[in-house]
Amino acid sequence: MSQTSALPASDARARRNVIVLVAAQAILGSQLSMVFIVAGLSGQTLAPNPCWATLPITLAVTGSMLSATPLSAVMQRFGRRAGFLLGAVAGAAGAGVCALGLMQGSFALFLAGSLLTGIYMSAQGFYRFAAADTASEAFRPKAISWVMAGGLLSAVIGPQVVKLTAESMVVPFLGTYLAAIGLNLGGMLLFAFLDIPRPAAPALGSPRGRSRSELIRDPRIAVAVICATVAYALMNLVMTSSPLAVVGCGFATSDAADVVTAHVLAMYGPSFFTGHVIARIGAERVMAAGLAILAASGAVALSGVELGHFFGALVLLGIGWNFGFIGATAMLASAHGPEERGRVQGLNDLIVFAGVAAASLASGGLMNCSGGTVEAGWQAVNLAMLPFLVAAGGALIWLALRPKEG
C-alpha cells in the first residue's frame, strides 16, 4: 500500500490500466493464435487454388491496415475504450461471418469474415500504445512490455481452444470460430475498467504538432517504423506458413498447434524483461538484437524439417519479433508529442500492417507454389527474410552514424 501511494499519480493509474490491458491481451489476444493456426488450413480446403491458402490471413491483415488510421482517429476523439469496444464487436462479427463461410463452403464469405476480423487485430495492436498513455517516461517501456507479456496467456489459451474445437463439429474449424465469438463478447467487458482520459480537444491556437509527412521524415520515427514493419512482417511471413509446413511434412494439426504455442510464448515471454533492457541499453540495441535473432530463426528453419527444427525456428522467430517490435514501439512512443499521438500511431500501424499484409500474401505463394515440394516452399519462405533484415539493419546503422542533434 505504501509502495503504491509513493508512486506518481500517473503511474498508479498506469499500473491499473496495465492490469486491464494484460487481461485483454490474454483473452481477446488468444484469437490471434487461433486464426493463424486454422485460417490457412481452412483456406486450403476452401480456396479454388492452393496458392491462395493464406489469402484469409492476408485479408485479416489488410483489414487491420485499412482500419488503423480510422481507429486511431476514433480513439483520439472518443477515447481508447470506444476504439477497443469497436474492435471487439468487429472481431465477433468477423468470426461469425467466417463460421457462416465454413458452413456454406464459401471461400468468398470466409474472406469477408477475415477482413472484418482485421478491425479487431488493429484495435488489439493499440493496446501497447494505450499502456503508455498514462505512464511516466520512466515507466513507459515497462508498461508497454508488460502489456505485451499478456500474450503469454493467449499463447496457451488460443492453441488449446483450437485443439478442443478444431474437430468438435462436422465442419472442421467451425467450432474454433464459434469460440472466437465468445472470446470477443466476453473480453469486451474488461474495458469498463479502463481509466484512460479522453484526449482534450485542441484549444484555438494550441500546438497542432507535425503533419504526417513531417513525422515520417523524423529519423527516429522513420527507423522505428521500418524496424517495426520488418520485424512484424517477417514474423507473419514465417508463422503464416508454419502450420502448412508442419502438416505438409507429415505431422498432425495438434503438432502445428504446439509449434504455434511455443512461438507465441516466445513472442511474449521476454516481455517481462524487455522493457528493463530497453531502459538500460536503449531501444536501438534491443532492436538490433531482435534482427539478429530473426536471422538465426531463418538459419534453423533452413537446416531441416524435423519437428525440432520447426520448434527451434519458431521460438527464435518469436523472440526476435519481441525485441524488434517492442524496441521499435518504445522508440516511436518517445519521438512524438501528445498532440501528434493519433497521427503518428495511425500512420505507424498503417505502414506496419501494409507490410504484414504483403508478407502474408507472399507466404502462401512461396509455401505452396515454389519448388514443387513442401520442403522447397518452406526454404523459400525463410530465404525471403534476408533482404529485409539487411534493409532494417542498414537503417539502424544509418541512425547510429547520424550526428546527434543539439
This prediction has a pTM of 0.74
Scan for cell 520448434, then name that residue: 311
* Sign, CA torsion 162/167/172/178: negative
CB of 236 within 8 A of CB of 61?
Answer: yes
Range of 321's domain?
10-192+212-401
For residues 177-206, average pLDDT? 83
Domain membership of residue 406 (yes or no) is: no
Within a domain: residue 27? yes
User: Is the pLDDT reported for residue 8 higher than 60?
Assistant: no
The pLDDT score that the predictor gives to residue 335 is 80
Structural domain contains residue 224? yes
**197 lies in some domain:** no
Residue-level pLDDT at 176:
93
Asked whether residue 201 is domain-assigned, the answer is no
Range from 3-12, 263-272, 304-313 carrying the lowest mean pLDDT: 3-12
Q: What is the mean pLDDT of residues 151-157?
A: 81
User: Which is more confidently placed, 4 or 232?
Assistant: 232
Cβ contacts of 11 within 8 Å, gap of 6 or more: 135, 136, 139
pLDDT band for position 183 (cuts 50, 70, 90): very high
Q: Is 207 a member of any domain?
A: no
- % of the chain surpassing 70 pLDDT: 94
Cα separation values, 239 from 58, 107, 121, 244, 318, Å: 13, 22, 16, 10, 9
Domain membership of residue 143 (yes or no) is yes
Q: Is residue 77 part of a domain?
A: yes
